[in-house]
């Protein structure tokens, strides 16, 4: 095998083209069974004839079948190096960036297996499970060692309680904060009495709360599904979490992510800050402690309500929450004549294509981009460079151990002498 692909698969040459082999590692000799899929050549790993020195025994019996963790067979230190190489390739090849003057900071990590406080599982009518890689088939899971302790046995223990719902249950989301757990049940159709009975049984079994999420109509809470944490780097402010609302999956590493993002942003007490895709406030409150004001923009109403409640309880008075699409809100702020010193963006996997235009129009001096997709970061970074922002530093935070997925923090500053955009 020659290398790892952007999706974490081994890559070798066959018939003059790339052959992708899940589970294979660079420098290995392997036996495979080709499975050509149209123009893409793939193969199943049959036997490892000469293993890589970085190959380790996976810590899960479902490794290789379950699509939840695809790198359990790769040494954690080698995982971190491979993620760095994947990000470097994306930034230079896809983004066309010159990184010669960019500082590449060492990856920071907080634990390997057993770190995930969130999980999204599928339901087949009898058992909970994860999808196999590149298929819609489910692998039943009773115990998941990738999850934090309070969640690791929940897939197996919940299944008997959920079976009365049959196929009216589509999927289940798990969440933990410390010893407390909460569950979201995604239902077909409306919330019916049987679903409420099942939710009550789940609460009686020790889960703190259940959210019933119908295809349409209001959510129904059973028990107390909102969990309470502390905002990263702000012990005086709570952070509220719910199983159906996005939050970082690696709770122990989240303070590292926030600390590194703020270190690269370099906020100052007199600064006006803009935060795009603020979510439940993961970065918001630590940023608010370091600047004069924060305008926090988030499209999801449920996340914004949690953040607003946390700000009220923590008496954080210098944050203005705005619900709406990040690009549209940013355009509106520019038309109002607003200007911001610093900008922090944590967009979804698809990125934020209009970030460069917004940063320029709002006359931002420094910005930090938090990315969970190398391709999206590369494309958006290229646009930032075209808009006269220069990349300064990159740092990976190991938020997804055991997988090829990455989380990166990249900082940019306005080039000296760059022309400032005029307000629309």
Euclidean distance between CA atoms 38 and 72, whole angstroms: 29
Instruction: Return the axis-axis angle of helices 76-89 and 374-386, rounded to nearest 10°.
Output: 40
| Residues 331, 263 contacting (CB under 8 angstroms) | no
| Residues 203, 220 contacting (CB under 8 angstroms) | no
- How many whole angstroms from its chain centre is CA 75? 22
Neighbours of 293 (CB within 10 A): 14
The one catalytic residue among 60, 66, 69, 372: 372
Tell me the HSE value of 164 on the side-chain side, using a 13 A CA sphere. 12
Q: Is 372 an active-site residue? A: yes
> β-strand 342-345 against 272-276: which pairing, if any?
parallel
Segments in 266-337 forming alpha helices (H) = 284-288, 301-314, 326-335
Q: What are phi and psi of 156, to 5 degrees?
A: -75, -40
Q: How far is the CA of 194 from the CAs of 164, 199, 206, 239, in angstroms?
A: 8, 9, 19, 32
Q: Which long-range contacts (CB under 8 A, 24 or more apart) does 233-238 make?
A: 233/258, 233/259, 233/262, 233/285, 233/286, 233/289, 234/285, 234/286, 234/289, 234/314, 236/314, 237/285, 237/310, 237/311, 237/313, 237/314, 237/316, 238/310, 238/313, 238/314
Cβ contacts of 351 within 8 Å, gap of 6 or more: 371, 373, 375, 376, 377, 379, 380
Cβ contacts of 189 within 8 Å, gap of 6 or more: 168, 214, 215
- Catalogue the active-site residues: 372
């Amino acid at each position: 095998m020659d290398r790892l692909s952007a999706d974490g698969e081994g890559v070798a040459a066959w018939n003059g083209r790339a052959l992708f082999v899940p589970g294979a590692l660079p420098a290995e000799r392997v036996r495979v069974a080709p499975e050509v899929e149209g123009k893409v050549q793939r193969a199943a790993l049959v036997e490892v004839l000469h293993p890589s020195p970085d190959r380790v025994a996976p810590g899960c019996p479902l490794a290789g079948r379950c699509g939840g963790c695809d790198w359990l067979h790769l040494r954690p230190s080698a995982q971190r190096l491979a993620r760095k190489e994947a990000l470097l390739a994306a930034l230079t090849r896809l983004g066309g960036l010159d990184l010669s003057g960019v500082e590449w900071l060492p990856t920071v990590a907080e634990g390997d297996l057993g770190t995930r406080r969130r999980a999204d599982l599928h339901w087949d009518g009898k058992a909970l499970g994860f999808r196999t890689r590149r298929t819609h088939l489910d692998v039943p899971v009773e115990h998941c060692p990738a999850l934090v302790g309070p969640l690791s046995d929940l897939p197996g223990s919940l299944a008997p309680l959920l079976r009365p719902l049959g196929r009216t249950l589509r999927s289940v989301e798990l969440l933990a904060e410390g010893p407390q757990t909460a569950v979201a049940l995604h239902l077909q159709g409306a919330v019916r009495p049987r679903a409420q009975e099942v939710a009550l049984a789940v609460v009686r079994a020790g889960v703190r709360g259940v959210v019933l999420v119908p295809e349409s109509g209001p959510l129904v809470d059973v028990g107390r599904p909102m969990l309470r944490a502390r905002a990263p780097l702000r012990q005086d402010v709570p952070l509220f979490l719910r199983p159906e609302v996005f939050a970082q999956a690696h709770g122990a590493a989240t303070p590292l992510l926030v600390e590194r993002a703020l270190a690269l942003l370099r906020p100052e007490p007199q600064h006006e800050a803009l935060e795009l895709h603020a979510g439940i406030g993961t970065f918001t409150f630590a940023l608010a402690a370091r600047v004069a004001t924060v305008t926090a923009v988030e499209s999801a109403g449920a996340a914004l309500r949690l953040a607003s409640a946390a700000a009220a309880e923590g008496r954080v008075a210098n944050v203005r929450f705005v619900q709406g699409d990040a690009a549209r809100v940013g355009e509106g702020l520019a038309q109002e004549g607003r200007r911001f010193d610093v900008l922090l963006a944590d967009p979804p996997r698809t990125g934020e294509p209009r970030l460069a235009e917004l940063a320029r129009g709002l006359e931002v001096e420094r910005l930090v981009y938090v990315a969970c997709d190398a391709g999206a970061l590369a494309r958006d970074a290229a646009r930032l460079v075209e808009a006269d922002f220069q990349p300064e530093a990159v740092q990976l935070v190991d938020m997804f151990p055991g997988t090829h997925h990455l989380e990166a923090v990249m900082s940019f500053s306005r080039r000296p002498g760059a022309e400032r955009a005029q307000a629309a």
